[in-house]
């Protein structure tokens, strides 16, 4: 049975220790803000202003109109005009451009006579992700120009009207402007929470062992689960404050829409924090060394949360073995929850499974920390 007075006494002791070290307290708040700003601005999946070289062999008003479609798009930026494949190759080799448009000599005559015309679009495949996205953008620009030409011919030439075989009208839900930060910031909050929470508690028990004060605590009536709970409470408060700061920054600095329940967001963040803090406690108990605990906590939190949670890389694109492994990464579930709350405005009627897995994670890790602490006392 947990006795509240003993838990609060341990919590008060830990609060006093934190307050005696204001630099650590300041860093625990400043680091999440700094990480959110750096990653929020630096880490982007948007592909805009792709530098392009143009070899316009047609040199006609039709080819200039076609090229202007690319230059007027937010996705492409015409950087130079060249006069041969060797110049195209040199521009791509030196990374001054990432793509090139080759307009043939007969481009204008074929367009004006209603015959199909071909344009070559060369891409630098050394960055396969950018190349794939740029190819899609280029196809969209070319299709737009084709529709414009067809419409103009229909208006000027009498007789049967030519038409496009397919009229595709797209609509994007939940992130209509396709802003990368709307996708990144909710996941970034999770990754930062996981790292900071585990780092905050990863040294707390190890510090007691190294300073020799653990023997004094053991001699008191305080039980292991009471000690763990008491030490977690101050860092839980700090962690929730970090979540509050991150939510405010996401709302006003990055302008990420928050369409769902703020209360549900903080409830789910609290459940996740409890598990992350328990993981830090478990690492601290097992290692009994502050340096080793810090290194192990970083390894167990940053890499899995960043790479295997679906934050940056889609889980469905991973090898099957890694897809199975992601089910034990708690950040995966909170990222799904936060994206659902932020962008879709859904609640537990949709996110109940993810919320259940987060709860199980917190309970299992806390129980493991409690068992590990008892074994260390033997």
Dump the DSSP string for 140-177.
HHHHHHHHHHHHHHHHHS-SSPP--S--------S-TT
DSSP 195-260: HHHHHHHTTHHHHHHHHT-HHHHHTSS--HHHHHHHHHHHHHHHHHHHHHHHHHHHHHTS-----S
Question: pLDDT by residue (tens digit) across 204-227?
Answer: 777 777 776 776 776 677 777 888
326: which DSSP letter?
G
Say whether both 326 and 370 belong to one domain.
yes
Say whether both 232 and 366 belong to one domain.
yes
Say whether both 133 and 264 belong to one domain.
no
The answer to whether residue 168 scores a pLDDT higher than 60 is: no
Say whether both 38 and 66 belong to one domain.
no
Higher pLDDT, 159 or 122: 122
pLDDT of res. 215:
65
pLDDT of res. 240:
92
Question: pLDDT by residue (tens digit) across 170-204?
Answer: 677 788 777 778 888 898 899 888 888 887 888 77
Say whether both 185 and 278 belong to one domain.
yes
Q: What percent of the chain clears pLDDT 70, i.e. is strictly above it?
A: 92
pLDDT, average across residues 337-363 = 93
Say whether both 90 and 222 belong to one domain.
no
Question: pLDDT by residue (tens digit) across 36-66?
Answer: 888 888 777 677 889 999 999 999 999 999 9
Structural domain count of the chain: 2
Mean pLDDT of the chain: 85
Query: 3-state SS string over 328-362?
Result: HCHHHHHHHHHHHHHHHCCCHHHHHHHHHHHHHHH
Say whether both 370 and 247 belong to one domain.
yes
**Distance between CA atoms of residues 144 and 69, nearest Å:** 9
Say whether both 252 and 276 belong to one domain.
yes
Question: pLDDT by residue (tens digit) across 73-130?
Answer: 888 999 999 999 999 999 999 889 999 999 999 999 988 887 888 899 999 988 777 8
Cβ–Cβ under 8 Å, residues 76 and 135: no
Say whether both 184 and 272 belong to one domain.
yes
Phi-psi label, residue 178: left if phi above 0, alpha if psi -120 to 50, beta otherwise: left
Q: How many residues does the chain have?
A: 378
pLDDT of res. 152:
78
In a domain, 165, yes or no: no
In a domain, 174, yes or no: no
Domain boundary among 141, 156, 171: 156
* Residues paired with residue 260 on neighbouring β-strands, in sequence order: none
**Distance between CA atoms of residues 186 and 311, nearest Å:** 9
**Distance between CA atoms of residues 100 and 123, nearest Å:** 7
pTM beyond cutoff 0.85: no
Q: Residue 75 sits in a domain of what CATH number?
A: 3.40.1710.10
Q: Is 329 exposed, middle or buried (0-12, 13-18, 19+ CB in 10 A)?
A: buried
* Domain containing residue 341: 4-44+179-377
**Distance between CA atoms of residues 232 and 274, nearest Å:** 8
Question: pLDDT by residue (tens digit) across 121-144?
Answer: 999 988 777 888 888 899 889 888
Phi, psi of 122 (to 5 degrees): -100, 135
The answer to whether residue 165 scores a pLDDT higher than 50 is: no
Question: pLDDT by residue (tens digit) across 305-317?
Answer: 888 898 878 888 8
Domain boundary among 104, 122, 156: 156
Cβ–Cβ under 8 Å, residues 25 and 19: yes
């Amino acid at each position: 049975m947990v006795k509240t007075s003993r838990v609060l006494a341990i919590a008060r002791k830990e609060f006093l220790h934190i307050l005696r070290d204001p630099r650590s307290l300041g860093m625990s708040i400043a680091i999440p803000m700094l990480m959110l700003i750096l990653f929020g601005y630096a880490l982007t999946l948007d592909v805009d202003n792709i530098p392009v070289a143009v070899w316009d062999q047609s040199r006609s008003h039709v080819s200039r109109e076609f090229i202007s479609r690319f230059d007027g798009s937010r996705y492409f930026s015409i950087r130079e005009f060249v006069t041969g494949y060797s110049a195209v190759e040199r521009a791509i080799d030196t990374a001054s451009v990432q793509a090139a448009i080759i307009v043939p000599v007969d481009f204008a005559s074929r367009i004006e006579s209603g015959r199909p015309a071909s344009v070559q679009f060369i891409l630098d495949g050394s960055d396969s992700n950018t190349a794939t996205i740029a190819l899609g953008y280029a196809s969209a620009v070319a299709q737009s120009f084709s529709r414009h030409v067809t419409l103009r011919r229909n208006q000027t030439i009498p007789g049967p009207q030519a038409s496009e075989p397919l009229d595709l009208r797209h609509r994007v839900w939940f992130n209509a402007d396709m802003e990368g930060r709307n996708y990144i910031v909710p996941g970034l909050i999770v990754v930062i929470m996981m790292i900071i929470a585990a780092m905050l508690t990863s040294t707390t028990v190890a510090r007691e062992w190294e300073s020799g004060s653990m023997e004094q605590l053991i001699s008191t009536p305080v039980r292991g689960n009471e000690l763990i709970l008491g030490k977690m409470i101050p860092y839980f408060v700090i962690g929730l404050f970090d979540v509050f700061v991150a939510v405010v920054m996401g709302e006003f600095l990055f302008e990420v829409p928050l369409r769902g329940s703020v209360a549900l967001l903080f409830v789910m963040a609290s459940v996740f924090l409890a598990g992350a803090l328990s993981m830090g406690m478990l690492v601290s108990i097992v290692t009994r060394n502050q340096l080793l605990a810090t290194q192990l906590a970083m390894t167990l939190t940053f890499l899995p949360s960043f790479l295997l949670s679906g934050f940056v890389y889609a889980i469905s694109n991973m090898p099957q073995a890694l897809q199975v492994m992601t089910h034990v990464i708690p950040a995966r579930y909170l990222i799904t929850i936060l994206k659902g709350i932020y962008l879709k405005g859904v609640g537990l009627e949709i996110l109940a499974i993810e919320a259940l897995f987060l709860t199980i994670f917190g309970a299992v890790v806390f129980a493991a920390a409690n068992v590990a602490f008892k074994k260390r006392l033997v």
